[in-house]
Structure 1
Amino acid sequence: MAPRIVLVGLGALGAGYASRLLDAGCDLRVLVDPGRAARYAERPTIVNGRPYDFPLSTGADGPADLAVVAVKRAALDEAIALLRPCVDERTVILSLLNGIDSEEVLARAFPAATVLLAVSVGIDAVRDGRDVRFTSLGRILVGEPANPGPAADRVATVAALLTGAGIECAVPADMVRELWWKWLINVGVNQVSALSRAPYRVLQDRDNPAREVMVAAQREVIAVANARGVALDEHDIVRWLAVLDGLGPDNYTSMAQDALAGRPTEVDGFGGTVVTLGRELGVPVPVNTVLYGLLKGAEAASPPR
């Protein structure tokens, strides 16, 4: 019997992965509230030019084997409410949220379930209304807090399911470090791209000063991580720059998309968290302090949409 999968969050990232799961014949349902169910029923989601009528559910189908959470951090409480009837002791939860704390929140909300650490790296999906396009889905890194040897059965099962659906997946030896590495990426590229309203090609340009600001913000994450006992270093920035060079040059980060659309951004989980941790740990973070302040100021000056 095929595993039952539910997904919350049909934005750029969620729609990209949902299209692969549906194409692979997976038993997938997209969890929605009644309002979204009505809106989604009116028009299919378009992914790379192809219409998808994703199967929708309000949770009445019962517990799922795998729950994928692909919302923005501000919508996590709403996602948890939608997930409640779909989670029991057999459910594995995969959080693809940016930041370093969503797994802890989900584990508190669903203590009987298995919450794995996961990050999506190298995806360049862009959403415009119900239209989503991407040139790269990147890969998902998944695991328990430490995977020193062969993956545990639940990790291996999830990795095999994703790989079978055409979603590249890997199980790193130190998943906590990878979680912080993804956060390092987002703190730099998302904040700088949101302020500059720039696509990836601006930050791929080695001569553009915006790239230097991105790297400077990421070096502050390394300092904070080291103070917390997470062994990030300069090689992690080199790893990121190699990923950056492979992204669609005219695509935008999720935070730049939000800024351009006048939507609230995830700045509190990026620069805001760096500033808070820097203060707690006695680590100077002047670049992130400025980025956080400017982004919060820009949000306050923008009329709500």
Structure 2
Amino acid sequence: MRIQRVSIIGLGALGIMYGHHLSKKLPKENVRIIADEQRIQKYKNEGVFCNGEKCEFRYVTPDEQVEPADLLIFTVKFHGLEEAIRFAKHHVGENTIIISALNGIISEEMIGQAYGFDKVLYCVAQGMDAVKVGNKLTYDHKGILVFGDKEPGIISEKTKGLREFFDSVQLPHQVDTNMTHRLWGKFMLNVGVNQTVAVYKGNYGTVQNEGEARNTMIAAMKEVIAISEKAGVPLSEQDLQYWLDVLSTLSPDGKPSMAQDVDAKRPSEVELFSGTVLKLGEKYGIDTPVNKMLYEKIKEMEAEYVH
């Protein structure tokens, strides 16, 4: 199956970046951004910009009848996922491949339950350092999309088809035959980086350099390693080092999404990170004091601006 039509839902940092990239490589009408009327009006009035360039997107409402997408990409925040799944229904056909670039370890499960696990490839977006302020996105590193099948050790026709498509549109990517392990590794990084930078009100540079913030981040990540062993997806010190190496490639001035949410006084994905760690820690009888501290601090910050 050749991928020709792509639909994206969620115009955050990743949605803008991939939408902008793909709309330059494919006919404009073949890249569709799904959004409600109100959002579409806002995007049209204010414009959406990627590294200073105005994005020329084709917008479609959830009710619009369209040809199903060959590839559907979810790039919403976790708290918008249930709505996004409903909004995307006209874009899912028999042969649609679905990937989710969301943080955390459960979005694929939710999408699979709605549309069938046969359509879902597991995916991780890593190594990008985009910062979105208002309707403007800037980045130095596009990072890569790592994807593959849920079952370890196989490369399905869908995975091969997506790899061919990303090759043809020159989108940086990598196929991984152990995606559950990769998802947990990215989850570990997010638990450390996102929360620590938000609490210390810093940027990637804050945790790239030795000091209290970096020590806090690594301690939070090590709590995930302890949980991962009980959860049957064991992470190691080697995995910790791999993700610290990924972190070291990012622009020191960049910020992870949670720090950007706190700056903009938006609700954060704290439940997805330390919220999940605390629940799993309780389930497996593992102490998670660092994540408990980060959770409480972020909740305090949110309480000051979220009503």
2:18 and 2:201 map into 1 onto residues whose CA distance is: 25
Cα distance in 2, alignment partners of residues 234 and 164 from structure 1: 36
Helix, strand or coil at the partner of 2:143: strand
C-alpha separation between the residues in 1 aligned to 2:72 and 2:266? 26
Q: 1:64 aligns with which of 66, 69, 79?
A: 69
Runs of 4+ in structure 1 deviating by more than 3 angstroms, as ranges, are: none
The unaligned stretches of length 5 or more in structure 2 are none
The letter for the 2-side match of 1:54 is F
Instruction: Please tell me whether the aligned partners of residues 12 and 126 of structure 1 are also in contact (alpha carbons under 8 angstroms).
Output: yes
Cα drift, residue 92 of structure 1:
1.1
Alignment gaps of 5+ in structure 1? none
Percent of aligned pairs with the same amino acid? 36
Could you say which residue in structure 2 is the equivalent of 1:95?
A: 100
Alpha-carbon distance between aligned partners in 1 of 2:40 and 2:17, rounded to the nearest angstrom? 19
The DSSP-based 3-state class of the residue aligned with 1:137 is coil
Secondary structure of the structure 1 residue equivalent to 2:33? strand
- TM-score when scaled to structure 2? 0.95
CA distance in 2, matches of 1:22, 1:278: 43
Whether 2:90 is the aligned partner of 1:85: answer yes
Find the residue that maps to 1:229 and give its secondary structure: coil
| 1:112–1:140 Cα change, 3 Å | closer
Residues 59-111 of structure 1: per-residue CA shift (max 9 Å, x gap)? 42131111000000000011112101111221111001100000110111112
- Tell whether 2:193 aligns with 1:186: no
Matches within 5 A, 1:63-142: 63-111=68-116, 114-142=119-147
Asked whether the equivalents of residues 184 and 218 of structure 1 are also in contact (C-alpha less than 8 Å), the reply is: yes
Matched, 1:162 2:163: no
Aligned to 2:175: 171
- Distance (Å, rounded) in 2 between the aligned partners of 1:137 and 1:148: 27
After alignment, is 140-149 or 219-228 more displaced?
Answer: 140-149
CA distance in 2, matches of 1:238, 1:203: 14
Question: Could you state the TM-score of these two structures normalised by the residue count of structure 1?
Answer: 0.95
Contact 1:88 1:112 in 2 (8 A): no
Write the letter of the residue equivalent to 1:143. G
> Hey, what does 2:222 align to over in structure 1?
219
Aligned to 1:54: 57
> What is the CA-CA distance between 1:118 and the residue it aligns to?
0.4
Aligned residues: 302
